[in-house]
Amino acid sequence: MSKYGAIFAILILSVLLLSGFVMASDLNHGDLAAEFVDYDGDLVADLPADESEWINPDTIIFSYTPVEEPSVYKTAWSDFLDHLAEVTGKKVMFYAVENYASQLEALRAGRIHIAGINTGSVPFAVNTAGVVPFAMMAAEDGSFGYEMEIITQKDSELSGLEDLEGETVAFVSQTSNSGFKAPSAILKSEMGYVAGEDYETTFSGRHDNSIMGVYNGDYEVAAIANSVMKRMDASGAIDMSEIKTIYKSQTFPTTAYSYVNNLHPGLAQKIKKAFFTFDWAGTSLEEEFEDDKFIPIDYKTYWEVIRTIDKANGVEYK
């Protein structure tokens, strides 16, 4: 081979290798936004390769999903956040968010480092904000989750999905699993009902708003997470005997506790240690929630059913 032929061959090989690298990089994005990559195939963003992009804040900002009054949950999380500060050696601040959209935006902007994210919003947070789900609340025996229920008042004439034709259904928000995505998919798959054609919709913004709306007669029917309804009943906010359930779903994973993918790995490990070593007994967290511990989770496995529902609804994570 001539000198020029060898040079040409090297150039062609270089182009092919570079093209292969680019195609592999594209494949490693999956549904993730362009700034994230997933080389290990777990569907979540990997730690940036460039250490200069890692963050190790002096104050950790924690946020809990905005399902009910934020000030109540600031108190509920106080004992755990003290434990988190002790384990990490950092200051910890509770950041109250009013809705799902503001929590996602704060995660994307780097204003939140750890968040409890509602079930339906987890895929959006994973793919647009690069969060890494790692823990979930569970009972002592390891059982977890909640069901979506479609509820009405106990004396309502509504008794099943077929009765929702022509009705106005109160949903929570378009990113809520039990408060929109699951019930709308079920109504379409089981009854052939399409929103805006066979029934009308309204959005309350939060599960407790939907539940209280049905309880007070402001909504005829609503789709909600029964874990929220049970907490409201336990606190005396409502009496569940006044509410009738006309549909109950399979069990879904609950709130995912997640950290942003560019958190310093040493700090991320301490955060996970804080969750899995927390003793619930006699704490403000035990008083508010019915669970007993945190269990480790992985997004790829636990959120498969949610991604399936999203796909059926034509949802894109943008």
Q: Read off the pLDDT of residues 214-236 as tens digits, 9 standing for 90 and up.
A: 999 999 999 999 999 998 999 89
Residue 41 backbone zone (phi > 0: left; psi -120 to 50: alpha; other: beta): left
In single-letter form, the type of residue at position 120 comes to G
Check residue 312 and give its pLDDT. 83
pLDDT, tens digit, 9 for 90 and up, residues 251-286: 999 999 999 999 999 999 999 999 999 999 999 999
Is pLDDT at 196 greater than 70 in this prediction? Answer: yes
Report pLDDT for 148: 95
Output the pLDDT for position 279.
Answer: 97
Do 95 and 63 contact (CB within 8 A), yes or no? yes
E strands, the chain, are 59-64, 91-94, 114-117, 131-138, 146-153, 168-171, 200-203, 221-225, 243-252, 256-260, 293-296
- Domain formed by 146-252, architecture: 3-Layer(aba) Sandwich (3.40)
Residue 10 has pLDDT above 90, yes or no: no
Q: Is the pLDDT of residue 22 over 80?
A: no
| pLDDT of residue 162 exceeding 80 | yes
- Top pLDDT among 49 and 26 is at 49
CATH 3.40.190.10 domain span(s) along the chain:
51-143+254-312, 146-252
**Is the pTM for the entire model greater than 0.95?**
no
Say which CATH class 51-143+254-312 falls into. Answer: alpha beta
